[in-house]
Amino acid sequence: MSGHNYDPRTVPRTVPQSAPGAIIFDWDNTLIDAWPAIHEALGATFLAYGLEPWTLEETISRVRKSLRDSFPGLFGELWEEAAEVFYNRYRAIHLEALKALPGAGEMLGELSRLGVYLAVVSNKNGEYLRKEARHLGWDGFFGQMVGATDAERDKPAPEPVEMALNGGNINKDDPVWFAGDALIDLECAVNSNCIPVLLRKNEPKTGEFDAFPPVLHFKECQALSNFVRKL
């Protein structure tokens, strides 16, 4: 997307009055429920290195950064070896465990029909990200699906967003939304001069998004597509 200006000081802070030229989505816990597979693979990795596995609640609250940004802190110099243990287990179970969140497929279809350019920026490994989209039959909705290590840096850095927008033929004046369920998604939106959109059922906790507050919050996928349709 040539001409897009990545200056966080210019991120719009008011509810948009015009339809987005593009919407970038997070993947896990925004469009799909991948937590059971991630939790099982992470637990197997912890056990392999003599560590106490996290509870599911701890996994959901703590897993935000990409593996290359988080595993060195968990496994030190053995992090690349631990990554192989994680991926071996994840590879075996992730498609069987994959579940779309309610209304996600319908939302993507409607947004596509409305002419909105759609992309994904995730901290999941890009290979598995794209396999999951194909498994769900969603790969045709997205112009780009950018996962961890696809860009020079991972989310919340702006490089994955820039990659996701390449080829979108989006007018430089059209707003770009970044929709996700966690603080790291809204931080990435601000870093990339996108409108930060919270897409999740749960209300924000007190202080959760003070650093990067959402401009919009949708509790379900259909609410987001309804809002865009009315703009």
Query: What is the reported pLDDT for 25?
Result: 98
Query: What is the reported pLDDT for 203?
Result: 93
32 and 135 in contact (C-beta within 8 Å)? no
Structure tokens given for 195? 């409108």
Mean confidence (pLDDT) of the chain = 92
Query: What is the reported pLDDT for 150?
Result: 97
Model confidence over 94-135: pLDDT tens digits? 999 899 999 999 999 999 999 999 999 999 999 999 999 999
Query: What is the reported pLDDT for 12?
Result: 61
pLDDT at 226 over 70: yes
93 and 41 in contact (C-beta within 8 Å)? yes
pLDDT at 92 over 90: yes
45 and 199 in contact (C-beta within 8 Å)? no
Instruction: Give the dihedral of Cα atoms 139, 123, 220, 176; nearest 10 deg.
Output: -80
List the beta bridge partners of residue 119: 24, 144
- Whole-angstrom Cα distance, residue 132 to residue 17? 33
Query: What is the reported pLDDT for 170?
Result: 84
Query: What is the reported pLDDT for 10?
Result: 56
Query: What is the reported pLDDT for 16?
Result: 86
Count the Cβ atoms, other than its own, within 10 Å of residue 192: 27
Q: What is the 3-state secondary structure (H, E, C) of the chain?
A: CCCCCCCHHHCCCCCCCCCCCEEEECCECCCEECHHHHHHHHHHHHHHCCCCCCCHHHHHHHCCCCHHHHHHHHHHHHHHHHHHHHHHHHHHHHHHHCEECCCHHHHHHHHHHCCCEEEEEEEEEHHHHHHHHHHHCCHHHCCEEEEECCCCCCCCCCHHHHHHHCCCCCCCCCCEEEEECCHHHHHHHHHCCCEEEEECCCCCCCCCCCCCCCCEEECCHHHHHHHHHHC
Query: What is the reported pLDDT for 11?
Result: 61
pLDDT band at 7 (very low <50, low <70, confident <90, very high): very low
Model confidence over 146-191: pLDDT tens digits? 999 999 999 999 999 999 998 788 877 789 999 999 999 999 999 9
Query: What is the reported pLDDT for 181?
Result: 96
